[in-house]
Structure 1
Amino acid sequence: MDTGAVKLPIHEHPIFPSARIVFSTCKGCGVEDFVYGGYVCNDSDCKARFHKECAEAPSKISHSFHQQHPLFLTNGLGDLPCDLCGQKRLEAAGYSCPTCEFKLDLTCGINPSPPAIEHPICHDHPLVFLKKREEKAPCEVCKDSIGGPSYSCLGCDLYFHVDCVHLSKEVNHPCHPSHPLKLIASESLTDNAEKICLLCEQQPENMLYYCSVCNFTSCLGCTKRPPPLFIEHTKTHKHQLTLFLNGISYQGSALTYNSRAYMCLPCGFVVNGNGINLPQVININRHDHRISYTHQLGPGYLNCGVCREIVDRDCGAYACVVCSNYAVHWECAVHDNVWDGVELEGTSEITEDIAPFKVMGDNLISHFSHEQHTLRLHKEGIIHDAYALCEACTYPIGFDPIYSCEECHFILHEKCANLPMKKRLVFATTPFKLVGASSRVRDVIDCGYCGECSTGFKYASQRGWEIDVHCGSLSEPFVHNGHLHPLYFDSKENHSCNACHKVTVHMLCCNACDFDLCLSCASLPLKIRHRNDEHPLTLSCGETANGKYWCDICETELDPSKWFYTSFDCGVTLHVECVLGDFSRLMPGRMVDTVGGKKFYVVLNNHNTRPLCSMCRSRCKVSVILKACDEDNVYICSRSCFSDMVSARSC
């Protein structure tokens, strides 16, 4: 990114000129297309991009449609229609008259469409301009439906897109000076014709410009706004770069190209448009340190830290100066789901104190979530109560080292006590902050990534996203006893978890084999105590069995290909859902509200006689259940029963 920030009326933050060629939505005019150069905002909560002409729009104009008063550039006019074209593109910027409340979107303000065209290119009769109509009609040029303003021949009852009305049947294109391009319908192309635009590499749906001699195709957008033939950007390359289109197959400094690329022939340097003006220093959500762009990697780099594919040392990439073998493809690093959009070159790195506690003495700490008392570390398991829960993850204490309060019942696993106060997670591009369990009894997190509800610690982003601490504590590479290879985050459609066989989107996946693990199963305790058995239970990560397995809690058949709990001492086998249940991450004593206002306490199912669930009418098997606050003997055993109860009461 260029370093010269400018403050323009179009935007609240300083914006930077950028030579990158990216497919984006201009924050000024609201049009989504390829932005060749332009301006970009370096604020992580904004990341707005602008066409050059939109960013440099004048703050005051005189307009032919409103000659009585000047119009002023105004940000945030709301979800209102433009008074000229009728389209709702005023959310970001537009022109308005403070006297008459007349308003125009940015395009109509800078380049207004004439009210009539006496001699149009596309039709034999004069055309008049019409605002956006509710009733849609096909465009006579491109045949696509018209969803915005249009031009119409009132005598013929024909309609034309505002852009299509100016389309010539033949054009001279700067990127193809050898022959003129002819306007044709995409469906009329022969089987051997190039159907992809050679400039933006998108496939035009209806009309396009085509040269039959050279088999050259250009979409309407790239014909109207072609990419630059030459680019000078010293941070990308010291020499001028020239656009080449004709079937280049060349492994250059940023990628292997088979079509459009910018080249420096004397140096053999090749880059595509999106690789120009790359940020030099950035943060990504897959790594704890800053990474810096380099045109050529040294030895020792193997796989990309995002996609896990091989990183070519001769291609441009990002590398970490702290971690000697960590590198990321530049395409992966600057992806919208990975990079926060902030260029850090020239800014000093701020070292933050992310420790969650202060050391008060030997094995004594003061934790941010329990500052009223000190906590003592116990390396050996001293608590054998199956109902003793960690305040952070709300799972049973089990056999792990713990910090416990000697003045109250507050307990944390040692690993939970060490969770950093701030960290980057793959779920968003901005950092997350650790938040302790709320003192409000009704504060329940319903994590959208693992599907579990919890009253424990959470990670919260600057944008208000809340993630269960179990998901927030997972990191790459994730190593689990249930699989030989390391696992990495991915989002997949219609894939089932190998542990529970449930279909979910967010997974930890293996690149070496076809193994997927949902985030809920990834967080299952490996060893746990349960009141149904005096021996410790161990998580069995699926096995092939000849005979039948039975769950000792629900007394139904158990599928051994799914993960389950077992005791190596007595051989019992138990469903995971029977051991933990749906409410295992809710701390007993808390209160849960329903949509209809019904309140439930989270209680332990530790009585000699197990209560009946008020919905499914079966005995509550799991260790943590819900009990109605204002009614006796009203219990809920699972989330499905809870949902059924809410639905029944809302009818």
Structure 2
Amino acid sequence: MDDDGGFHEVEKDGKLFLVYHHPKYRPKPQIKSPSSSAEVANHDHPPLPLFICPFVRWQKDSRYSNLFLINSSPEFVLSSKVPDHHLLPLFWCNNEKFGDGEYECGICFDSKFRTDYYFCAFCSRKYHKECVESPLRIKHPYHPHHSSLELYYRIGYTYCIRCGGDRAYGLIYHCTADQTFMHTTCAMKRIPIVIDQQKIHDHPLTFFPRQNSLTCNICGLIKKHPTYVCLRCNFVAHRGCEEFPHTIRISRHHHRISRVLSLRYEKWPCGVCRQSIDGNYGAYTCNECGDHYYAVHLHCALGKDVWDGEELKGVPEKDDIAQDAPPFCKISEGVVHYFLHDHHLRLEENILYDKNKFCEACVMPIIEDEFYSCAECDFILHETCLKARHRIQYALHPHPLTLKAIYNYDSNYSWCPVCSRNSGGFVYECPKQECQFKLDMRCALISEPFDYQGHEHPLFLSLDPYVYVLCKVCKWTQNYSLNCIKCDFTVCMKCATLPYKVRYNNDKHFLTLSWGEERREKYWCEECEDIVEKFFYWCNDCCTILHTDCLFSKNPYLKPGQVFKIREKEFQILAKSNTSRPICHFCKKPCQGKTLVRDNLTVCSMLCASDFMYSYLHI
């Protein structure tokens, strides 16, 4: 068992710091006597040991758990043996050209590197110096209440008490007593004893190691966090709050916002979480909105799905989405040219319902809305979809998204993570390759506040899309959702994007979506003839009732006639048959709606097609 590392006071360039040292790996800095030479002083330290790859430590201690303790020392021992992995000393590097974001650490997955790091020749991974040398325990000034922080491996994001980052996972320090976590890189950073930040306070602030529950004058939060104080002014600041960026752009607002130390109003709703902001503390505000005052909590504005991580103070305004050209240009009255189609489109009005007409963008049927059609091909767009902007800023993604036609993708379809559906329509895509975020047209057109039919209050997008909640409509647990801030109503995006009214076969009336009503009578679905409960479409005049899945099928946003690639094999979508219900080759159930066909193979959904091809290829 290796000894605990600790912190000691060191002076550098006239400033005092608490600097981490370890008896073996990072010896305590020696104070040279006037008579000693540099060579002699360097020989005062024992030679550093050889280290093993952190991946080997993980292999030794890995457990079937989301959080497990690391017991293996970082030192390389010749007698050690690990199956299928030869223990190799790591190569020490000092590469000044090695930039942030180019690679990520192979054990903590952070992409921020200094010029010094380790490289394992066997597994071809790069590692932070701190991750390689991380002792099993560490005594830290930011965590004085309990015993040492211990080294763990965690699957899933958590919050680092040092930097405030919420993307801490992998190799990490943890205290089981108070459930705190700290990055390995943060745990070994030097700590300034005094900081001088004139932009937040007139006097120097001194490190206060006794983390009582003090309210931070910057963020307004009460939490046991590394704290700096000014005794003259009774001013308190969490470590990290003084480093908040000054000017940023967030996904929830169309202008830049800037940090202020207090608000002009005592209370004001946050533009992200919708909860009240205490005007006596710091926040971000918009200087462009004038009388339409806009403010956001500091921590809400800096969330990973809200802010792109860029400080914009002093950066000229450029690439403003609001200044983009419209997605179409007017040729003549009722005739336009759309940027994703080669031919002109003409406005159509008062056309009778045709179940074979689908919008290319949202893949929903054309029922009564005005739409634009092409005289030279079967390209059709709802007027709303035609006007959807070329680029948008989606509230739950930090980067602008660009509209693309689905035929730009090899598979001819995409999966939307927001509504958890496959789509053969247009998608909004993040141009940053590392994001790989795509959003279908229906989800992209939902804006805040959202008016959901059947609920009396406006709805807002969930603050954290990774938290699963129970949808009050379909009764399924989903992550992306719309929430009511006045009551506990929640609707998932899959339900929120369903149309409120639809047409069915030759019924002259609209069917409307019904949910949440307790009914004494039993109703049966027109298609599958099973009992219908709380979530369905119905016509009160004709007593026509259908399950949502029976009406739209399991593939509601795939257009009949389209050809898709599933596991490199082509399938074609066929419209629902009114005369027969073929049996799905995979699940062996009757196909209720649209079907996917390939040669003599018929399946009822994309999932069945994928599973069938997987089982077929692995026979």
* TM-score (ref. length: structure 1): 0.66
State the alpha-carbon separation in 1 of the partners of residues 505 and 43 from structure 2: 75
Deviation at 1:448, TM superposition (A): 2.4
Which residue in the other structure is 1:335 paired with?
303
Matched, 1:488 2:461: yes
Which residue in the other structure is 1:373 paired with?
343
Secondary structure at the aligned position of 1:498 is classed as coil
Q: Is the 8 A contact 1:398 1:527 kept in 2?
A: no
Instruction: Give runs of aligned pairs for residues 100-499 of structure 1, distance below 5 A.
Output: 116=47, 129=50, 131-132=52-53, 134=56, 145-146=71-72, 148-149=74-75, 205=175, 225=189, 227-246=191-210, 247=212, 249-250=214-215, 252-257=217-222, 259=224, 260-299=226-265, 302-323=268-289, 324-350=292-318, 351=320, 352-370=323-341, 372-378=342-348, 380-438=349-407, 442-461=411-430, 462-463=432-433, 464-485=436-457, 486-489=459-462, 490-491=464-465, 493=467, 495-499=469-473
Secondary structure at the aligned position of 2:439 is classed as strand
Note closer, same or farther for the CA distance 1:300–1:602 as it changes in structure 2 (3 Å cut): farther
Matched, 1:577 2:545: no
Q: Is the 8 A contact 1:388 1:397 kept in 2?
A: yes
Counterpart residue identity of residue 355, structure 1: P
Secondary structure at the aligned position of 1:449 is classed as coil
Which residue in the other structure is 2:525 paired with?
551
Counterpart residue identity of residue 343, structure 2: H
Which residue in the other structure is 2:154 paired with?
none
Q: Is the 8 A contact 2:471 2:491 kept in 1?
A: yes
State the alpha-carbon separation in 2 of the partners of residues 325 and 558 from structure 1: 47
Which residue in the other structure is 1:636 paired with?
603
Q: Is the 8 A contact 1:423 1:432 kept in 2?
A: yes
Note closer, same or farther for the CA distance 1:534–1:263 as it changes in structure 2 (3 Å cut): same
Note closer, same or farther for the CA distance 1:590–1:301 as it changes in structure 2 (3 Å cut): farther
Q: Is the 8 A contact 1:204 1:219 kept in 2?
A: no
Which whole-Å deviations, capped at 9, do the CAs of 1:291-313 have from their partners, x for residues lacking one? 11111112386221222221111
Deviation at 1:137, TM superposition (A): 8.7
Q: Is the 8 A contact 1:114 1:129 kept in 2?
A: no
Which whole-Å deviations, capped at 9, do the CAs of 1:113-161 have from their partners, x for residues lacking one? 96648xxxxxxxxxx65645957999xxxx961353368999xxxxxx9
Note closer, same or farther for the CA distance 1:274–1:130 as it changes in structure 2 (3 Å cut): closer
Note closer, same or farther for the CA distance 1:299–1:616 as it changes in structure 2 (3 Å cut): same
Secondary structure at the aligned position of 1:645 is classed as helix
542-551 vs 235-244, greater mean Cα deviation: 235-244
Secondary structure at the aligned position of 1:599 is classed as strand
Aligned counterpart in structure 1 of residue 572 of structure 2, from 601, 608, 632: 601
Deviation at 1:342, TM superposition (A): 0.8
Instruction: Give runs of aligned pairs for residues 606-625 of structure 1, distance below 5 A.
Output: 606=577, 608-622=579-593, 624-625=594-595
Note closer, same or farther for the CA distance 1:207–1:414 as it changes in structure 2 (3 Å cut): closer
State the alpha-carbon separation in 1 of the partners of residues 183 and 404 from structure 2: 50
Deviation at 1:433, TM superposition (A): 0.6
Counterpart residue identity of residue 548, structure 2: V
Deviation at 1:555, TM superposition (A): 0.8
Deviation at 1:252, TM superposition (A): 1.9
Note closer, same or farther for the CA distance 1:248–1:614 as it changes in structure 2 (3 Å cut): closer
Counterpart residue identity of residue 249, structure 1: L
Which whole-Å deviations, capped at 9, do the CAs of 1:80-101 have from their partners, x for residues lacking one? xxxxx9xxxxxxxxxxxxxxxx
State the alpha-carbon separation in 2 of the partners of residues 491 and 130 from structure 1: 40
State the alpha-carbon separation in 2 of the partners of residues 386 and 487 from structure 1: 33
Secondary structure at the aligned position of 1:577 is classed as helix
State the alpha-carbon separation in 2 of the partners of residues 424 and 336 from structure 1: 15
Identity of aligned residues (%): 32
Which whole-Å deviations, capped at 9, do the CAs of 1:492-540 have from their partners, x for residues lacking one? 5553322222222222222333322221111101111121634221112
Counterpart residue identity of residue 626, structure 1: L
Note closer, same or farther for the CA distance 1:234–1:361 as it changes in structure 2 (3 Å cut): farther
Deviation at 1:276, TM superposition (A): 0.8
Deviation at 1:396, TM superposition (A): 0.8
Deviation at 1:224, TM superposition (A): 6.2
Larger radius of gyration: 1
Which residue in the other structure is 2:14 paired with?
none
401-410 vs 574-583, greater mean Cα deviation: 401-410
Aligned counterpart in structure 1 of residue 496 of structure 2, from 522, 525, 534: 522
Unaligned runs of 5+ in 2: 1-6, 8-16, 20-24, 26-41, 62-68, 81-131, 151-159, 165-171
Q: Is the 8 A contact 1:132 1:149 kept in 2?
A: no
Secondary structure at the aligned position of 1:535 is classed as coil
Secondary structure at the aligned position of 2:385 is classed as helix
State the alpha-carbon separation in 2 of the partners of residues 276 and 353 from structure 1: 35
State the alpha-carbon separation in 2 of the partners of residues 407 and 137 from structure 1: 66
Aligned counterpart in structure 1 of residue 597 of structure 2, from 611, 627, 640: 627
465-474 vs 579-588, greater mean Cα deviation: 465-474
Note closer, same or farther for the CA distance 1:578–1:148 as it changes in structure 2 (3 Å cut): same
State the alpha-carbon separation in 1 of the partners of residues 549 and 347 from structure 2: 31
Counterpart residue identity of residue 376, structure 1: R
Note closer, same or farther for the CA distance 1:359–1:500 as it changes in structure 2 (3 Å cut): same
The alignment yields a C-alpha RMSD, in angstroms, of: 4.3
Deviation at 1:559, TM superposition (A): 1.2
Secondary structure at the aligned position of 1:252 is classed as coil
State the alpha-carbon separation in 2 of the partners of residues 198 and 534 from structure 1: 62
Q: Is the 8 A contact 2:74 2:135 kept in 1?
A: no
Which whole-Å deviations, capped at 9, do the CAs of 1:589-638 have from their partners, x for residues lacking one? 2212232x44221122246444443445554332x32122x33xx42223
Which whole-Å deviations, capped at 9, do the CAs of 1:183-212 have from their partners, x for residues lacking one? 96689xxxxxxxxx998899854999xxxx
State the alpha-carbon separation in 2 of the partners of residues 557 and 366 from structure 1: 48
Note closer, same or farther for the CA distance 1:205–1:538 as it changes in structure 2 (3 Å cut): closer
State the alpha-carbon separation in 2 of the partners of residues 523 and 502 from structure 1: 15
Unaligned runs of 5+ in 1: 1-32, 34-50, 54-84, 86-110, 118-127, 155-160, 188-196, 209-217
Q: Is the 8 A contact 1:401 1:413 kept in 2?
A: yes
Q: Is the 8 A contact 1:423 1:431 kept in 2?
A: yes
State the alpha-carbon separation in 1 of the partners of residues 254 and 580 from structure 2: 51
